[in-house]
Structure 1
Amino acid sequence: MNYPVWDVAFGAGLLIAIVAITHVFVSHFAIGGGLFLVLTEKKAYREDDASLLDWLKRHTKFFVLVTVVFGAISGVGIWFTIGLIHPSGTSALIHAYVWGWAIEWIFFFLEITAALLYLYGWNKLDRKTHLWLGWIYFIAAYLSMVVINGILAFMLTPGKWLETQNFWQGFFNPTYFPSLLLRTTFAFALAGVYALITGTLQKDLELKGKIVKWSVKWIIPAFIIIPIFAWWYIGNIPDVVWESARGKMPTATQYANSILIFSALTFLFSLLTLIKPKKVPFALSVLIFLLAFGTMGSFEFIREAIRKPYIIYDYMYANSIYKDQFPGDGGMSIQNIQQKGLLPVAKWAESKEITSENQMAAGMEIFRIQCQSCHTIDGYRGIRKVLVEKKWSQTAISRRISSLENMFNAVMPPFAGTDEERETLAAYLTTLAPVAPEDVEVTDIDISGEVVFEANCADCHEYAASDTMFVSMGKYDFSEVSYLITRLDSLSEEMPPFEGSDAEREALARWIPVQFK
């Protein structure tokens, strides 16, 4: 497909994250909370507890307002944002799973109907009928997740669908079942987390203590089981993808650490409520709520981050360019663009040819089409800050653009376009960084070879045994490494020239050979 680019100044990816994570946190409560309502109602009947039943009626209203009203609105918000930011990706998911979405919408309508009947059925329906409405709601809500989970998991691990385009092989993909069980368990935990919010507001201390203990019984077992399903989930993700969360990609690694911290704190603070359940303050329930939100948000961020450079793994890049050419791709395959050029292929581009007069405007358009799905100029993942810090020349930028797929653990798609378009983009990016300050004379003592490496080489290389080119430098002595640094193009045509001072080059040349000795 071939669509225009929606310009979101503070970051299109960040907008999707805000809307999607908020909705996911509510939608999982909608599932676990449905079972919570039914089992708590049965508990109140069994124990003949009128006060618990009265609280549950109030909690049901809170539940419906959060899930049916806010949850439905945020769900529409997801479709609105992804449709504008990633229209090609959204279209691909609809075309591949149109009947899956249709089935999910049926469950969604049933879910809303049952929830409203359950709310307004209090004191009007007999117990058996009212409980049946609760069960219908929970089953419909859970089946809705069963369908959506298959499509979400498909985006990261499409499996054999890439070869067969078969609905079921894409739906029941390698991470389908671990993802479903992981989300199911977290949904049950959220039922308890949300119940703590309304439970800790009760003035009746006996009732408050009972609700707190009952709610925490939903949280603690879930957070004990979640790591098991998470381990299973990770085991079904390709190793090369999961490496991003193990240090190869700072963002993914950061959220991998965050999920461990947030989940551990959620578990510990939930345990603390059992010490004096009648005296648990509302503030503590809010803290547990926020920690659980952090846990869920970190998981969703990791899932999105490790999928880079794709929006649908190994099929469509994050900038909506297809990895492979096929009929109906709208010309937006990397092979077609490399041959014809990006600007002529992109239907909505104003500049179809590059001239000396429109070079900067064309460069901006190339940036918007190829880079803006992940980067901004000054907002989220802003590119200007990087350019100012690195002080790259136009040549250095151009060389890096030509090997984007080799940088930062291959989290960026390769540049799609002609050599002229690459140089035009490099020229535009050069204008974003201010003129470099005059060189300041430094001594060898002031320079760290490791710092020079991080500034000039770490975009593509790492000083680890897995980087064969870096390891191969260990067989050379200082003078040989120093010479090779001046001739990086002899090692690879894609490597940009070293633009540091002679002192920095010598510091780097002294540092490299000793790393594996």
Structure 2
Amino acid sequence: MDLLGFYPLFYVPHFGSAWLMGLTGAIHIMASHTSVGAALLFAFLAYKAQKENRTDLYDYMKRYGMFLLIFSYVIGSITGPGIWYTATAASPRGISALIHNFVWVWATEWVFFVYEVLGVFALIYFIDKIDRKTHLKLTYTFAIASVGTLALIIGIISFMMWPGTDAYYATGSASDAFFGINTFPHMFLRIGFMIMMSGIIGMIISSAMRKENKALSEELTQKMGWVSLLGGFVTVFFFMWYVNTLPLNALTLLGMQKDTIVMNRIILAILFSVYFSIAIIKPQWVTRTLAITMMLVIGIVGVWPGEKLRETMRKPWVAGQYVYSDQIIGRDVPGKGIKDETGRLSEKGLLKLDPWIPDRLRTITPENKLEVGKLLTRIACSNCHSLEKDGVYRPLMPLAGPMGEEGIKDYMKNVIGTGSIAYMPKISLPDEEYDAMAAYIASQAK
């Protein structure tokens, strides 16, 4: 039998598979972005401590480093592989595309990451056991390893949005895939946010020192306010550049949510500008409770919506703008010997080409029509939609229900089947498979 290289279906009820990755990613970003920002902050503090003979700054760095070990390197090291685990389950052909394009880049990133993890332990352990110049050099190498890890992984993540150049499709080259037009604005956008996060976390540490050393606590809170303000400015500046490097499908989806996104970001910008200004002008007002609260606010109201937006904007693709979110290859990549599969699916259908379809469902009968429709709907739609009426993210049934069975089939065949919507995969199937899907969706939407 002529089969496509599909993988078994992974579906999370009520949420959809892709959003599990987004949730894991939001937690990971809080931890990992703090670690890279803190590495740059440590380099600055170690330089200042060595140059000005400020032994009190070493105590602050040690406290910060202990927090970093738990928050970033335990939580981050768990959720980092967790992202790729959930991504592999949700979009296995997408992850396969990343591995086939970036296997050596990824391997190099892990070398940097291992050094980074060892470096933070050494940085804290040797802080009062080696001379300050040696410790400063160790801090610099830790910062370089952290930024190196970021730079390498950003090239891979940016490719998930799009290669940014048509040259990649002809050459299949890792460099053409890595150096897209949005790689560098994406990287500097993240560096800005990382610097801001290092300041936000830094205020938690400095505010906790108030009973022991009030003057030092307020000085460091003030410095962290400036650090956060700088990071926030860099984030906003490079976000505007980043938006101008997005592909059409991403811009279309961004435009659909523009009002909500702009309002959310304006409120956040005002709130945190006031917070950072208070830290600079009245550092004594920043308590540990306030600092922890603001960290949670940036995570829940800032990072999580941002991760949802990033997951959304890539649609209908998951990698390189040739792997659709439903695992189907949607365009030719001559440089990789990859062929567009949409034509074969239109001719033969999923029931004939997906190797994981049970044999008893490969032929549609009146008895199994709804069961086949359910399976086909999950394969075609579940990476972007939750399929229950009370689904949390983009529930399909409330959207499709008012159309009725004939309306659903017509929409699938003449809209989705022709690929006329920029943010939805082209799903062109034989009539009988559309019939089964429409019958199932209509039965569930009632």
Question: Where in structure 2 are the equivalents of 1:59-78 lying within 5 Å?
Answer: 59-78=64-83
Q: Secondary structure at the match of 1:274?
A: helix
1:339 equivalent to 2:347? Answer yes
Aligned partners of 2:316 and 2:325 also within 8 Å: yes
> How big is the shift at 1:329?
8.8
The residue aligned with 1:266 is: 272
RMSD, aligned CA = 2.3
The residue aligned with 1:472 is: none
1:208 equivalent to 2:217? Answer yes
What is the distance in 2 between the residues matched to 1:255 and 1:361? Answer: 39
The residue aligned with 2:357 is: 349
1:152-200, Cα deviation, whole Å (9 max, x unpaired): 1112231221232111111110101111111112211111111112221
1:2-44, Cα deviation, whole Å (9 max, x unpaired): 1001121132122111101211222111111012123223323
- AA aligned to 1:398 is K
Q: Secondary structure at the match of 2:343?
A: helix
Aligned partners of 1:12 and 1:373 also within 8 Å: yes
The residue aligned with 1:372 is: 382
1:316-340, Cα deviation, whole Å (9 max, x unpaired): 1111111135799999821111111
- AA aligned to 1:211 is L
Greater mean alpha carbon deviation, residues 401-410 or residues 120-129: 401-410
1:132 equivalent to 2:143? Answer no
> How big is the shift at 1:114?
1.2
- Identity, in percent, stands at 29
What is the distance in 1 between the residues matched to 2:405 and 2:248? Answer: 35
The residue aligned with 1:412 is: 424
The residue aligned with 1:499 is: none
**Any unmatched runs of 5+ in structure 2?**
none
What is the distance in 1 between the residues matched to 2:419 and 2:264? Answer: 24
> How big is the shift at 1:124?
1.7
1:409-439, Cα deviation, whole Å (9 max, x unpaired): 53221223211101110000011022xxxxx
1:277-301, Cα deviation, whole Å (9 max, x unpaired): 0231223212332343333334333
> How big is the shift at 1:397?
0.8
1:287 equivalent to 2:293? Answer yes
Aligned partners of 2:250 and 2:423 also within 8 Å: no
1:128-165, Cα deviation, whole Å (9 max, x unpaired): 22222211111011111111111111122312212321
What is the distance in 2 between the residues matched to 1:372 and 1:308? Answer: 13
Question: Where in structure 2 are the equivalents of 1:153-232 lying within 5 Å?
Answer: 153-158=158-163, 159-160=165-166, 161-202=168-209, 203=211, 204-232=213-241
Greater mean alpha carbon deviation, residues 345-354 or residues 332-341: 332-341
Aligned partners of 2:416 and 2:428 also within 8 Å: no
What is the distance in 2 between the residues matched to 1:329 and 1:12? Answer: 29
Q: Secondary structure at the match of 2:427?
A: coil
1:244-281, Cα deviation, whole Å (9 max, x unpaired): 212xx34x653454233323322222112223202312
Q: Secondary structure at the match of 1:219?
A: helix
> How big is the shift at 1:224?
2.1
Note closer, same or farther for the CA distance 1:238–1:374 as it changes in structure 2 (3 Å cut).
closer
385, 400, 412: which one aligns with 2:411? 400
The residue aligned with 1:243 is: 252
Question: Where in structure 2 are the equivalents of 1:8-47 lying within 5 Å?
Answer: 8-9=12-13, 10-47=15-52
- AA aligned to 2:375 is E
The residue aligned with 1:304 is: 311
- AA aligned to 1:396 is G
Aligned partners of 1:263 and 1:291 also within 8 Å: no
Greater mean alpha carbon deviation, residues 291-300 or residues 207-216: 291-300
1:117 equivalent to 2:122? Answer yes
Aligned partners of 2:87 and 2:95 also within 8 Å: yes
Aligned residues: 429
Question: Where in structure 2 are the equivalents of 1:434-513 lying within 5 Å?
Answer: 434=446
What is the distance in 2 between the residues matched to 1:421 and 1:3? Answer: 20
1:144 equivalent to 2:149? Answer yes
What is the distance in 2 between the residues matched to 1:317 and 1:309? Answer: 6
> How big is the shift at 1:364?
0.8
Note closer, same or farther for the CA distance 1:326–1:187 as it changes in structure 2 (3 Å cut).
closer
Aligned partners of 1:338 and 1:416 also within 8 Å: yes
1:385 equivalent to 2:394? Answer no
Aligned partners of 1:34 and 1:137 also within 8 Å: yes
7, 13, 22: which one aligns with 2:11? 7
- AA aligned to 2:394 is R
1:79 equivalent to 2:87? Answer no
Note closer, same or farther for the CA distance 1:279–1:374 as it changes in structure 2 (3 Å cut).
same
TM-score by length of 1: 0.78
TM-score by length of 2: 0.90
